[in-house]
Structure 1
């Protein structure tokens, strides 16, 4: 178990993740509709680093024109021609279902369009687990990597949804080498009140962990954001907890809260961020045009580690 008093690490964990991918074989990745320079370059850069083997899926003429305009060489990559973005999303998902690709990567289409195909009942990539998104953040003033979920997929998750969201994040933490992650269930206050549903959900999730319905982590909540990440704030409120003040995973009440928190840390606190969708048959690399190159590469590295952990079925580091 790691210490709450670890030295500050600024922007170092992403390099460690990429280093862990060295020696691993690149993973076949279905790239849905990479029809702008940013999306196409992200796939090519990840390939050059030996992380993925891209399968470019979309209107062939548009992809080739984008590559020519951006000066990107795609000569060595498999290209699947589809008429439009919707067909590209469907084809990308079908390649993952068929085992021809082990990762799915969003190109220049809308997230909703891709996730519609992912979540399709008969043809998608659903499992018994709820699909969710996890941000992995390196915040300069926080002493360890910080995971935030869910800030991109589930708008207003129910208690059952949150159970899956929590377990998805815990499983990812194990793959990343965190043996017993500390999970803080966030709300506006740290006391349970019937007036605030998120505090009731937090209390229920903690009891679920006590009863073995959530495994592999330490949970506490409800906790305010300050109590979750600041030992001083937790002490000021007289909160005695193995989680308070040194959380590894933050579970937000809803998508709006999580999205605002992640973007505030990125744009105001100078945090590096990477993100991945978990809980589906394969990891999904879900980045946006606003993401930096390092964020995209970091997201690919996380997904690659997940794919190899799933493929080998060997107990992951720290699990």
Structure 2
């Protein structure tokens, strides 16, 4: 990839708080919920009714359980929106079929095993790396600006090839949703120096030497050196021969963790901050033909709705961009 010389843009004007408003100005999408037979799944459907960014919810799973949950929550469901199945495997298969038929535009994981659903989704995989990208904001982190974190839930093996995919997927979300033409991407580790006994530092350094298009990538950086300019000043971090360090250190837009364990721990910290009204989050899994949402049962209603809005924005802008370029949006 060729390097670009344009300077990074300032903080994104898009925020987690404005995702639903932004999505409401775009064409509404059809959401399919895989395993929609719990009350919490129907609670999401109830919350979405009347939201302008969703035109329809398709519920795939055990028919009687879906209807029982709907009655308990007094949710009115058209019979055509219930796709009854006899097993989790059939639920996964029917969900994927709805995507292949062009009916479903966003997948929301409900009461179904993630491995079962992910295996079925290999049929609609659009690229080598599928990854979870979390948008978040907190006054405690990065001055409260909107940022992205990856990968807290999908990628378990982070070699050079897979890390490249994580970087590219997160950059795509930054481009399409946060309107960042050249996001600043920090490759996190426990230290900003290459240490032989800490392989993630060497991998980050190697990736930093690559040429990246429409993004600035640098690492290794510890979390504080990625998000806090004061830490950069106090620790006397020298730019040396790395111009990317000057652009990324202390002002990263995207945090790429060295592995799922580190990313998941950081994500759980964000969840705790959210419960204290000190953070807001929204998630999207990219790398398949349509956006895919994997939510924790502990996520609040706002996170669920904001995640769906995030996916609506991503889906529409990706579709529009692909059409302008004469490409299929699944690429």
- Say yes or no: TM over 0.5: yes
Q: How does 1:138-217 map to 2 (within 5 A)?
A: 138-141=137-140, 142-176=143-177, 177-208=179-210, 210=211, 214-217=212-215
Q: How does 1:45-124 map to 2 (within 5 A)?
A: 45-52=47-54, 53-75=56-78, 78-119=81-122, 124=123
Alpha carbons 1:40, 1:107 under 8 Å: kept: no
Deviation at 1:302, TM superposition (A): 0.9
Match of 1:221 in 2: 219
CA distance in 1, matches of 2:165, 2:235: 30
Deviation at 1:161, TM superposition (A): 0.3
Match of 1:137 in 2: 136
Alpha carbons 1:181, 1:249 under 8 Å: kept: yes
Match of 2:287 in 1: 279
Pairwise CA RMSD of aligned residues? 2.0
Deviation at 1:314, TM superposition (A): 5.7
Match of 2:235 in 1: 237
* Alignment partner of 1:290 is 2:298: yes
Give the TM-score, by structure 2 length: 0.86
Distance 1:246 1:314, change over 3 A: farther
> Which of 8, 28, 31 in structure 2 is aligned with 1:29?
31
CA distance in 2, matches of 1:104, 1:249: 24
Aligned to 1:91, the other structure's residue is in SS state helix
Aligned to 2:92, the other structure's residue is in SS state helix
Deviation at 1:268, TM superposition (A): 4.1
Match of 1:262 in 2: 267
Aligned to 2:247, the other structure's residue is in SS state coil
CA distance in 1, matches of 2:103, 2:220: 43
Aligned to 2:64, the other structure's residue is in SS state helix
Point out where structure 2 has 5 or more consecutive residues left out of the alignment: 1-7, 240-245, 326-331
Match of 1:305 in 2: 313
Q: Deviations over 1:79-104 (max 9, x none)?
A: 11111222111110121122121211
Match of 1:250 in 2: 255
CA distance in 2, matches of 1:311, 1:156: 30
Alpha carbons 2:130, 2:288 under 8 Å: kept: yes
Deviation at 1:267, TM superposition (A): 0.5
Distance 1:158 1:186, change over 3 A: same
Distance 1:186 1:69, change over 3 A: same
Aligned to 1:275, the other structure's residue is in SS state strand
Distance 1:33 1:216, change over 3 A: same
Alpha carbons 2:171, 2:183 under 8 Å: kept: yes
Distance 1:296 1:188, change over 3 A: same
Q: Deviations over 1:27-50 (max 9, x none)?
A: 122211111111122133234212
Alpha carbons 2:224, 2:231 under 8 Å: kept: yes
Alpha carbons 2:16, 2:136 under 8 Å: kept: no
Alpha carbons 1:44, 1:74 under 8 Å: kept: no
Deviation at 1:136, TM superposition (A): 0.8
Deviation at 1:165, TM superposition (A): 0.5
Point out where structure 1 has 5 or more consecutive residues left out of the alignment: none
Aligned to 1:242, the other structure's residue is in SS state helix
4+ residue stretches of structure 1 with deviation over 3 A?
1-4
CA distance in 2, matches of 1:315, 1:224: 39
